[in-house]
Amino acid sequence: MWHGRFSTPTADLLLRYSESISFDWRLWRHDIEGSIAHSAALEAAGLITSDERARIVFGLREIGEDIEAGRFEFKTELEDIHMNIERELTRRIGDAGAKLHTARSRNDQVALDIRLYLRAETDVLIALVKDLQAALVSLASANREIIIPGYTHLQRAQPVFFAHHLLAYVEMLARDAERLADARKRLNVLPLGSGAIAGSTIPLDRELVATILGFPAVTQNSMDAVSDRDFAVELVAHLALIAVHLSRLSEDVILWCSSEFGFLHLSDAYTTGSSLMPQKKNPDAAELTRGKAGRVIGSLMSLLTTIKGLPLTYNRDMQEDKEPVFDAVDTVKAALEVFAGMLREARVNAAACAAAVSDPMLLATDLADYLVRAGVPFRSAHEHVGKAVALCTERRCSLPELTLADYQGISAAFGEDLFGVFDLQRAMAARKAIGAPSPENVAAQLARWQGQLEIA
């Protein structure tokens, strides 16, 4: 494509080093879509005839059909998806194909392709996030009566409904979906028409192209348009946060599936065994997701590092943007799909949950609240209950097993009614503040999410 300036062919070694067709082939659909729209602008400007445009469109669609069917041969010597398609188009339809690249550069062409790709993938990602939310809500709704210990520092803390725990992840994913939708607004801007750096002396109707491709706006600075990858960084940053959320959920699932917890049972379809130990059933999907989170974070770091020192405008370093973007998108899409499938087949072990939540120490804070309602300052109440816990540790007993005399030996504020604090159902019903896990609040949140996610 640049043989007019060069007298010696590019070395095969450099061709292999510099080619991107091995990974940017997946932009073929978007490249063809952009070229079809560009041909409309060329016709409107009188640079090609309606017959030439018809042949261009026909040839591009025919190439698209061949690629989709696996009949198209991508050539490394043509470097990238743009030249592979353009060269084949020219071979098929002649000079009309050679006119297609008028008033555009591969710089604004690839900027368009990656935006079209990410716009489409963002829509898929949002749908997958919502599907995982639906799976979480369904599992929560089916087990709305189950209470488990909530944990801080991986130590039993206070009782919560299992549904409330799952709904925490639904809230995280809701923010993820909002961030994806917000990022979509900024990537949904047309860069085509910016040329290599300074547009072209052949002005095309950029707004016409934007309308055809469904962009609500066009870029306003040609240098920024071809060098901008902020939209890709932003989207991958959001994907990294989704991966982190999935990693945290993975950790909970892995713990719940362990013999030590036993709260959750995963189906055989979403677990694996051991090559040596026949008794093993491993939560590999969750473990892999936890591991792949680091990979997505790595993609974000790769993108940021690639662009951090680049002068304006396009530099060949920017070819390195695609693989981390593609990998981040693919990884998060797969993780969302796997998790939704895994949770839809998961079953809760009600007996194990009930046994764990029967620990009266989970209600130690409720006992402190009991003293507060009796007029004891919270810091003093905390100290009194702490002494009761220490006494239990010394005697190897539980809080309800201490006598009234034991309690009153610590504080006269303890009355005969203190033992009612250890009624778990009563304790859960008392958690009525907005966002707290009372039965009524949890039921309301389940109904809200069922409505928003249109769960039957």
CATH, residue 20: 1.10.275.10
Q: How far apart are CA 250 and CA 256, in angstroms?
A: 10
Q: Is 384 considered catalytic here? A: no
Q: Are residues 228 and 271 in the same domain?
A: yes
Q: CA neighbours within 13 Å on the CB side: how many for 371?
A: 24
- Among 3, 7, 153, 275, the active-site one is 153
Q: Is 302 considered catalytic here? A: no
Task: Name the domain boundary from 299, 334, 355.
Answer: 355
Q: Are residues 281 and 393 in the same domain?
A: no
Tokens of 59: 């040839």
B/e letters for 401-431, b = 16+ CB within 10 Å, e = fewer, are: ebeeebbeebbebbeeebeebbebeebbeeb
Burial class (CB in 10 A: 0-12, 13-18, 19+), 149: buried
Residues 6+ apart with CB under 8 A from 343: 132, 135, 136, 138, 139
Q: Is residue 4 part of a domain?
A: no
**Amino acid 15: pLDDT:** 86
**Amino acid 6: pLDDT:** 74
Q: Are residues 155 and 48 in the same domain?
A: no
Q: Is residue 181 part of a domain?
A: yes
Q: Are residues 68 and 179 in the same domain?
A: no
Phi first, then psi: give them for residue 156, nearest 5 degrees: -60, 130
Phi first, then psi: give them for residue 374, nearest 5 degrees: -85, 5
Residues 6+ apart with CB under 8 A from 158: 149, 150, 362, 363, 365
Task: Name the domain boundary from 102, 131, 158.
Answer: 102
Strand ranges for 184-330 from DSSP E: 189-190, 217-218, 264-265
Q: Are residues 70 and 47 in the same domain?
A: yes
**Amino acid 4: pLDDT:** 64
- Among 274, 358, 411, 438, the active-site one is 274
Q: CA neighbours within 13 Å on the CB side: how many for 370?
A: 23
CATH number for the domain that contains residue 198: 1.20.200.10
Q: Is residue 70 part of a domain?
A: yes
> Looking at residue 454, what DSSP letter applies?
T
Q: Are residues 341 and 361 in the same domain?
A: no
**What's the domain range around 404?**
356-452
Residues 6+ apart with CB under 8 A from 277: none
Q: Is residue 5 part of a domain?
A: no
pLDDT tens over the chain, length 456 residues = 555 667 788 888 898 899 999 999 999 999 999 999 999 999 999 999 999 999 999 999 999 999 999 999 999 999 999 999 999 999 999 999 999 999 999 999 999 999 999 999 999 999 999 999 999 999 999 999 999 999 999 999 999 999 999 999 999 999 999 999 999 999 999 999 999 999 999 989 999 999 999 999 999 999 999 999 999 999 999 999 999 999 999 999 999 999 999 999 999 999 999 999 999 999 999 999 999 999 999 999 999 999 999 999 999 999 999 999 999 999 999 999 999 999 999 999 999 999 999 999 999 999 999 999 999 999 999 999 999 999 999 999 999 999 999 999 999 999 999 999 999 999 999 999 999 999 999 999 999 999 999 997
Q: How far apart are CA 442 and CA 167, in angstroms?
A: 9
Q: Are residues 188 and 317 in the same domain?
A: yes
Q: Is residue 385 part of a domain?
A: yes
Q: Are residues 127 and 262 in the same domain?
A: yes
Residue 189, beta-bridge partner list: 217
Q: Which amino acid is at 97?
A: G
Task: Name the domain boundary from 58, 82, 102.
Answer: 102
Q: Please answer whether residues 38 and 209 qualify as being in contact, where contact means their C-beta atoms are separated by less than 8 angstroms.
A: yes
Question: Does residue 313 have a cis peptide bond before it, meaning omega lies within 30 degrees of 0?
Answer: yes
**Amino acid 278: pLDDT:** 92
**Amino acid 12: pLDDT:** 86
- The SS3 call for residue 152 is strand
Phi first, then psi: give them for residue 148, nearest 5 degrees: -130, 165
**Amino acid 1: pLDDT:** 58
> Looking at residue 272, what DSSP letter applies?
B
Q: Are residues 415 and 266 in the same domain?
A: no
Looking at the structure of the chain, the number of domains it has is: 3
